[in-house]
Amino acid sequence: MSYLVFFYLATVIAVTAVLVVLLRNPIYSALSLLVLFFHVAGLYVTLHAEFLAAVQILVYAGAILVLYLFVVMLLNLKAEDRYHNQLPVAAFLGLMALTEVILLVLHRGSPVASTEEFAVSSTGNTESIGEVLYSQYLFPFEIASLVLLVAMIGAIILAKKDLLTGPSDKDHRETAST
Amino acid sequence: MIPLSYYIVLSAIVFVTGLVGVLIRRNIIIILLSVELMLNATNINFVAFSHYLDNVAGQVFVFFTLTVAAAEVAVGLAIIIALYRAKTSINVDDFSLLRW
């Protein structure tokens, strides 16, 4: 039963991942990425990470993907025509890397590969994550908040029209007219 | 019980798909979506190892990956909008400013 669920989720994840790269319309790519996010969340539930599954749907599907769709529709793009001309090289390298990893994992049999499930933690998933996050990983947590602040300010500065292009345009026009 | 290696193979498939997507697509938005694919592949690995080693640290690291992904999206999309304003295109072949 668990195999069935895993193989369903894994198949959908792999297929939608390929579709994200292959589809020509960016909106369809973003929508197949949405399906992938939901199935990754399902995978997290089977791995007893329920809180992460909720966060995955909230943050990835709710925030990040909406931002992508917003930009795609803001730019009003037509369907993209061609692939990059390094397609054969990329396909070859990707195939090599993939077969290498699969062979390494399946044939050698790493020591943790056959590990059975140890124990289901007695405390709740959210509680244990919070305990570790706010004690052992408190400093990285604060750094993460700083990263988000810097990204927010940077995004505002980059997307603000007048700040970057306005004055330089005016200077340009003045020098051109004089 | 599903072996851990299955999760690693799935993660490798998704990661390589994202890698190839970054290399072959010309649309900057698709390139950023492929980066998201790679980040999700690492997240699958983190959660799988966290479950099999019975250690919550892996799940905590997913949060940091999520933070980086959110920051990357915010800055990346702002850059895309700025580039689109400058050149009216989001085709990477049109942006060869650093080429000499």
pLDDT given at position A82: 64
Q: Which residues of A touch B89 (CB under 8 A)?
A: none
Distances (CA, A) of A124 to A51, A127, A129, A131, B89: 9, 5, 9, 11, 49
Which residue's structure tokens are 């709740």? A124
Contact B47, A126 (CB under 8 A): no
pLDDT digits (tens, 9 = 90+) for A93-104: 888 888 888 888
Instruction: Please tell me the distance from the alpha carbon of residue A100 to that of residue A94, in angstroms, as a whole number.
Output: 10
Q: Which residue from A minimizes the CA distance to B22?
A: A21
A64–B69 CB contact, under 8 Å: yes
Find where tokens 């990040």 sit. Answer: A64
| Confidence band for A113, pLDDT divided at 50, 70 and 90 | very low
What's the confidence (pLDDT) of residue A144?
A: 93
Closest C-alpha to A20, from A37, A6, A41: A37
Residue numbers of A between 54 and 113 with CB closer than 8 Å to B: 55-56, 59-60, 63-64, 67-68, 71-72, 74-75, 77, 80, 82-84, 86-87, 89-91, 93-94, 97-98, 101-102, 105-106, 109-110, 112-113
A170 has a pLDDT exceeding 60: no
Residues 6+ apart with CB under 8 A from B9: A101, A102, A105, A106
- Of the pLDDT bands very low, low, confident and very high (cuts 50, 70, 90), residue A109 is low
DSSP state of A33: H
Q: What is the pLDDT of residue A6?
A: 92
Q: How far is CA B93 from the centre of its chain?
A: 21
Select the residue of B24, B26, B59 nearest A90 (Cβ to Cβ).
B24
Query: What gap in Å lies between CA A66 and CA A60, rounded to an integer?
Result: 9
Cα distance between residue B31 and residue B19, in whole Å = 9
Q: Determine, for residues B23 and A63 on separate chains, whether the beta-carbon distance falls below 8 Å.
A: no
pLDDT tens readout for residues B48-90: 999 888 888 889 999 999 999 999 999 999 988 888 888 888 8
**What mean pLDDT is reported for chain A?**
81
Q: What is the Cα B80 distance to its own chain's centre?
A: 16
Q: Is the pLDDT of residue A173 over 60?
A: no
ipTM (interface predicted TM): 0.91
> A125 or A49: which carries more pLDDT confidence?
A49
Q: Which two tokens stand for residue A173?
A: 């026009």
Instruction: Render pLDDT for A130-156 as a digit per residue (tens, 0 to 9).
Output: 888 899 999 999 999 999 999 999 999
Are B83 and B28 in contact by the 8 Å Cβ rule? The answer is: yes
The answer, yes or no, to whether residue A111 has pLDDT greater than 80, is: no
Q: Which of residues 110-129 of A touch B (CB under 8 A)?
A: 110, 112-119, 121, 125, 128-129
